Amino acid sequence: MSMISRFGIGALALSMAALPLAAAAQTKIEFFFPVPVEGKLAREMTRLVKSYNGSQKDVEVTAVYTGGYDDTKLKAQAAAKAGRPPAVVLMSANFNVDLKLSGDIMSLEPMLRAEETTREAFLADFWPALHANAMVEGELYSVPFHNSTPLLYFNVAHFKEAGLDPTKPPRTWAELADAAKKLTKRDGDKVERYGFIMPAGYDYLGWLMEALTLSNGGRYFNEEYGGEVYYDTATMLGAARFLEDLIFKHKVMAQGVTEAGGVSTAFFAGKASMMLLSTGSLSFIRENMKMPYDVAFVPRNVRNAVPIGGASLVMFNGQSEDSKKAGWKFIKWLSSSETLGGWSRFTGYFAPRKSSYETAAMKEFIAKNPDAKVALDQLPFAKPWFATYQTVAVRKALEDEIQAMMNGKKKADQALRDAQKKADELMRPYVEQTSLKLP
Amino acid sequence: MRRPSLARFQRRLWPALLAALLAAVAFLWATPFLWTLVASFRPEGAGSAGMASLLPDTPQTLENFRNAFESGSFGLYYANTLIVVVGVLAVQCVTVSLAGYAFARLSFPGRDMLFYAFLLQLMLVPPALIVPNLRTVVDLGLYDTLPGVMAPYFASAFGTFLMRQTFLALPRDFEEAAAIDGAPWWAIIWYVLLPMAKPGLVAFAIVSVTAHWNEFLWPLMVINDPAKHTLTIGLAAFTRGAEGGKEWGVLAAGTLLVMAPLAVVFVAFQRRFVDSFVFSGVKG
């Protein structure tokens, strides 16, 4: 009812408004964004949007801070269901499949067609590793904004103290376990310093488990189809057992679940010597770490591979044509080479556009901060971030079980069997509608 | 000779032991608050290395409070939160006392069934209601307004329950006397019942104010305009880190800023709060 009346009014307004008048009017749109790191980023984003509003007269953007990644998804979807879809949302890059299947976000192909360009031409300047997460079922649904991969951070002073060479950080799991053993400091039964630590809270753990299973030759999920994950597999089992061993056999990692904030704090305090953390934290670590540190690739067991993380810009269904045009215009500005480069230097995320790195400002920045280059060098080994039907719930199915394992309540093989079972149940409705729907 | 002194010693020992035990428990309970207090005054550099320490560092600094304050327009957030909390409470006081009176004193067919149906609301998890409530708020034209944040709370199942129990516990003699003197129903509620039910209302007010002061999810859903943000959303701007680390000092300072008004009010009126809970207890 309300939809119909809204369309009616929209049509009426369109037919009544003379074209030159409509073109002169300013379009107001809303832009939802989460704050992935800290308050500083929210202020910087607000500043960016203000400068955009000042730079032109056609579009006025209201920047709406919307909590964490999950809160942002919840708010955007609730607003859309209530009939007030946001024009543009900065959404966790792996929510696209889910949001497309629920009919919330729109294909960006019509925008490309209107500009007489192709998807290939549009994506050419973006790093190849990002293309998969930008598309759903072969169509462009999102524009990458800031991206990350996991990275191994290590304390250089601790390395020297333990007789390890800080210019040769561990490259394989064997070297990692060996270094962690040497770095762990014990006082009787008490551990004073752990060799290795990583965040195991929701969202982060799933992403790092993908990093480990990829490094072990695995895949985590079916990149071509949203109804399949590979939890109960040899590659994932190896990854889970590796963690289990670091905690319970080698005792070089603390038992239990540490959130990201606790992990970086332990690293700063010298209570942990190596950590697996996002490249998105680089600026934060650089500003706060008092001891010398360095970064390295995520160590491999079978091959070098890491998942992409970060966020991309999407547009919601149910907007007026004017709002769509304004939103697309804003997206193009936000994802321009310069804006992305500036945001990357401010945050530590890497810029999704290759051309951002050809600017003088970026070259100077990388010369001054060589750790930013390691993140970039790892990019050729990057794979898409897991994205399935009901992504969040399917991810939690694994995280809950791995957390139980890290607490010593379950063995790795049992944990993965249970996780697989739960994930399969969650994806069942989609699977029944697609691959199990037979003639 | 020795026995009486031993007994006296024991008489003194037990209370002392008990006090020590209680003090230990109180200390444990107060640790998070103590830490917040200490961390909020700790200079940023030390904030990462010695962040877990409960001992204050020298020199102290107000830097964290300045950073927190600059992270958002706290004055505006205070005002918005106050409007929401007071607005909700004002309307609730009217609705819950009238509804409580109806369920306690009026007899009409299906009264008890209706009451239980009313109580069922308490079983619903609030997130399940987000979409339907949001739809209603949009239809009422209240999306992105403070009244939109307040609207779903104008009626309260918990408050109605509490006021019904409070009214039931009051003897009917007073109302009957007033009725014999010709007082209409509203005069009976206003002049006779409400003054006696004050402890119940105060108890409810505390619950309502704390709940809405601390609420995060619903205001986040309704409000887009940064000028209409409440304290919790403002605070979340620097507590919800997904991929980064945390600036503990600023975090602690922001938390203190948000909780300070409630804490001050509670300390100032502590006696009255405790009394009202004691008196509002339903007679067994």
Q: Looking at the structure, do residues A165 and A140 belong to the same domain, yes or no?
A: no
Question: Phi then psi for A349, rounded to 5 degrees?
Answer: -65, 155
Q: Which of chain B's residues have a Cβ under 8 Å away from the Cβ of A81?
A: 131, 134-135
Q: Looking at the structure, do residues B48 and B186 belong to the same domain, yes or no?
A: no
Q: Looking at the structure, do residues B229 and B100 belong to the same domain, yes or no?
A: yes
Q: Looking at the structure, do residues A271 and A365 belong to the same domain, yes or no?
A: no
DSSP A435: T
Does the pLDDT at position A53 exceed 90? yes
Q: Looking at the structure, do residues B56 and B116 belong to the same domain, yes or no?
A: no
Q: Stretch B53-80: mean pLDDT, rounded?
A: 77
Instruction: Provide the pLDDT for residue A51.
Output: 92
Dist. CA A98–CA A386, nearest whole Å = 11
The number of beta carbons lying within 10 Å of the beta carbon of residue A107 is: 16
Domain region containing A101 = 2-147+309-383
Show the tokens assigned to B14.
Answer: 């037990």
The number of beta carbons lying within 10 Å of the beta carbon of residue B99 is: 20
Q: Stretch A142-151: mean pLDDT, rounded?
A: 93
> Which of A343-347, B51-55, B89-93, B275-279 is most confident?
B89-93
Q: Looking at the structure, do residues B108 and B42 belong to the same domain, yes or no?
A: no
Domain region containing B170 = 72-280
Nearest to B219 by CA among A317, A61, A78: A78
What is the helix (H) or strand (E) element at residue A154, kind and residue range? strand A150-155
Q: Which of chain A's residues have a Cβ under 8 Å away from the Cβ of B240?
A: 34-35, 67-68, 71
Is pTM beyond 0.90? Reply is no
> Taking CA atoms, what residue in A is nearest to B51?
A265
Q: Looking at the structure, do residues B83 and B50 belong to the same domain, yes or no?
A: no
SS (H, E, C) A84-153: CCCCEEEEECCCHHHHHHCCCECCCHHHHHHCCCCHHHHHCCECHHHHHHHEECCEECCEEEEEECEEEE
Q: Looking at the structure, do residues B199 and B236 belong to the same domain, yes or no?
A: yes
Q: Looking at the structure, do residues A119 and A103 belong to the same domain, yes or no?
A: yes
Nearest to A317 by CA among A85, A6, A144: A85
Instruction: Provide the pLDDT for residue B67.
Output: 74
Residue A438 lies in a domain: no
pLDDT mean across residues, chain B: 83
Does the pLDDT at position A139 exceed 80? yes
pLDDT digits (tens, 9 = 90+) for A288-322: 888 999 999 999 999 999 999 989 999 999 999 99
Residue A18 lies in a domain: yes
| CATH label of the domain that carries residue A415 | 3.40.190.10
| CATH label of the domain that carries residue B171 | 1.10.3720.10
CA of B195 vs chain A CAs: smallest distance (Å): 42
CA of B207 vs chain A CAs: smallest distance (Å): 25
Q: Looking at the structure, do residues A245 and A361 belong to the same domain, yes or no?
A: no
Q: Looking at the structure, do residues A163 and A203 belong to the same domain, yes or no?
A: yes
Strands A190-197 and A272-278, bridge-based pairing: parallel
Q: Measured between CB atoms, which of B71, B131, B243 is closest to A37?
A: B243
Q: Stretch B46-59: mean pLDDT, rounded?
A: 61
Q: Measured between CB atoms, which of A36, A43, A65 is closest to B243?
A: A36
Count of structural domains within chain A: 2
Q: Looking at the structure, do residues A408 and A265 belong to the same domain, yes or no?
A: yes
Residue B47 lies in a domain: yes
Task: Confirm whether the ipTM is greater than 0.85.
Answer: no
Best mutation site among B69, B240, B248, B250 for testing chain A: the one with the most A CBs within 10 Å?
A: B240
Dist. CA A396–CA B176, nearest whole Å = 61
Q: Which of chain B's residues have a Cβ under 8 Å away from the Cβ of A344?
A: none
pLDDT digits (tens, 9 = 90+) for A361-384: 999 999 998 888 888 899 889 999
Q: Measured between CB atoms, which of A39, A81, A288 is closest to B238?
A: A39
The number of beta carbons lying within 10 Å of the beta carbon of residue B264 is: 10
Q: Looking at the structure, do residues B84 and B57 belong to the same domain, yes or no?
A: no
Instruction: Provide the pLDDT for residue B237.
Output: 63
Q: What percent of chain A is predicted at pLDDT more than 90?
A: 67
